[in-house]
Chains A and B, each alone.
Chain A
Amino acid sequence: MSEPVSFLGGRVAEGAVTVRDAGLQGMITLRGDLAATKVKNVVKKVTGQAIPAQRKALVEGRRGALWMSPDELLLLVPYAEAEEAVATITKALRGVHHLAVNVSDARAYVTVEGAGAAEVMAKNAPVDFSAAAFGAGDFRRSRVGQVAAAFWKDEAGAFHVVSFRSVGDYVFDLLRVSAEAGPVGALS
């Protein structure tokens, strides 16, 4: 067996705002009727979380559920458990119209943390990142720079950014350069 490594290989750009590879993270795309009891139950079983409300993220450590659309969630589980989690979902939802896929290796995963993290995000996404508009547990699918990305904010004010693996380099460098350039004061 080869040792799994995250796409960004543990890269870190330290500064007033630090941009870092969040490391290996199990990610499962789940599509289906989010109001169905069987779906709710298996999401709870696999992630420990309820179905998140519209544009919300429910995350605890490496486990969580992110609201991607009215019929899609991105489930977070520890990397090593992703295959098993997909098997659990597939078994629990037998006969229920759904789709569950392990997308862990198709994603890059970056954390943006520090006092000016919201400004770094605001430089790159067409989203209102003021504390009143985008608080802890808020989630958005949008773009950063020129590529699609999904992100949410945690209790500590850090942002967690998910992108396609193929554009992971771009996303990391974009956020790193934005962090290096310093705050512009737009959100303070």
Chain B
Amino acid sequence: MGYDLKLRVWRGDASGGGLNEYAVQVEEGEVVLDAIHRLQATQAGDLAVRWNCKAGKCGSCSAEINGRPRLLCMTRLADFAEGDVITVTPMRSFPVIRDLVTDVSYNYEKAREVPSFAPTPRDPDGKRRMMQVDVERGQEFRKCIECFLCQNTCHVVRDHDHNKPAFAGPRFFLRYAELDMHPLDTNDRRKLSQDAAGLGMCNITKCCTEVCPEGIKITDNAIIPMKERVADRKYDPVVWLGSKIFKRGDRASREEV
């Protein structure tokens, strides 16, 4: 059952590097991360790779396998023929630290820029009420494991580092949309997402959706509705007027941030 896998792994750091070839003993049912771990334990003790859960839950092990952005722990060797060479390289849109580990601080910076959740007060009994149907969309977005594969893939920043300062990226459009659709939030982040977060730079190519290991419909369910909401805000004078008169609980009562 076991066989020798031909593995090519990018080794190096900020100053440069290249693909190294290895032969690694692998077993039935294993994933690429298993092969990387065996390589580390037997041939390359200092091979740098991130991982935690090994079950697609933490989003640590993102890399590119034969050029495709994927989770190492959810890519099964059975998807390749035994003779295939598997090439593993670090995510391309982030600066390399060492081997398969990249500097993803861009994402943590963008996270800091999202104005936080600001709920309405609790009900008199100290609890809050929301209907399941009203939280489901937000729940879909909150399945995000922050693997940053979508951020890595989006062509607005892939190979276009100069766009990074003005572009939050699909993962954070998801976050803006989640808050915007939260039944109890009181902030209006539409202007911010359009201007500072760069929603306008997205031309809905859906590449982000394609790589999302959680299957979140980033473009259809978050970005496009968010763009529509932004358009509403910009052009609909009634909504603008409404925002001055309606009560809490309506979108209109949200505070622009």
Say if A and B assemble together.
Answer: no
Chain B residues in the interface with A (C-beta under 8 A): none
